[in-house]
A and B are shown apart, each in its own frame.
Chain A
Amino acid sequence: DAGVIQSPRHEVTEMGQEVTLRCKPISGHNSLFWYRQTMMRGLELLIYFNNNVPIDDSGMPEDRFSAKMPNASFSTLKIQPSEPRDSAVYFCASAWGGAQETQYFGPGTRLLVL
């Protein structure tokens, strides 16, 4: 079975540009999570969807970040406008059930904002 799929794997952009990260969860999973990983702050949950509905977005840094899940097999995380401090690795994870079920992580998108 395919795991969580993320695209692009690497993204380099200039400050002020819009960035869209994409995620396809494992088929059949009904929970989806976006995380950000940096050296300074470690792994942080940004937002959590259950059955395509955002349940907890308290980790979204600010209004420049938005996430959508239009259907069970696709989610996007958008940053507009991007800033150098957004540089990080962004992971998507999915699970069957809620946040306290095993979460399977994708390979991540490494974002560099110049």
Chain B
Amino acid sequence: GESVGLHLPTLSVQEGDNSIINCAYSNSASDYFIWYKQESGKGPQFIIDIRSNMDKRQGQRVTVLLNKTVKHLSLQIAATQPGDSAVYFCAESNGDTGKLIFGQGTTLQVKP
């Protein structure tokens, strides 16, 4: 069945370092991928998305990489800040159902 998983449940980084959060997906038909950030007590907040016709997309301090060959998605955060501490979710969907399927999440801890 469809599933989205994350390699590391918790990632701890030093402030100022770069962070890389990884995600594996299993449905080769998925053609849309999103990263969300969720702070404690809040709803998920959109960070960046990418469609399957691209392999890289950049935003402000964030980059998403998509490797369709190995069905892998990653989120890179440059110069990680304390405000980046949160749980990060990847999600996938395909054009047939459109529904988003979320991974379990990775907790990012930023040490001052």
Contacts and interface: CB of A to CB of B under 8 A. Distances in A.
Contact of A99 (B36, B46, B99, B102): B99
Interface of B (DSSP majority class):
loop
Interface stretch (B16-24, B37-45, B55-63, B65-73): B37-45
Interface string B63-104: 000000000000000000000000001010101011111111
A1 B95 CA distance: 30
Contacts, number: 53
- Interface size class, chain A: 20 to 34
Given A100-B32, A102-B49, A91 B43 contact: yes
The residue among B34, B42, B44, B49 with the most chain A CB atoms within 10 A of its own CB is B44
A56 interface: yes
Interface of A: 4, 42-45, 48, 55-56, 59, 91, 93, 98-100, 102-108
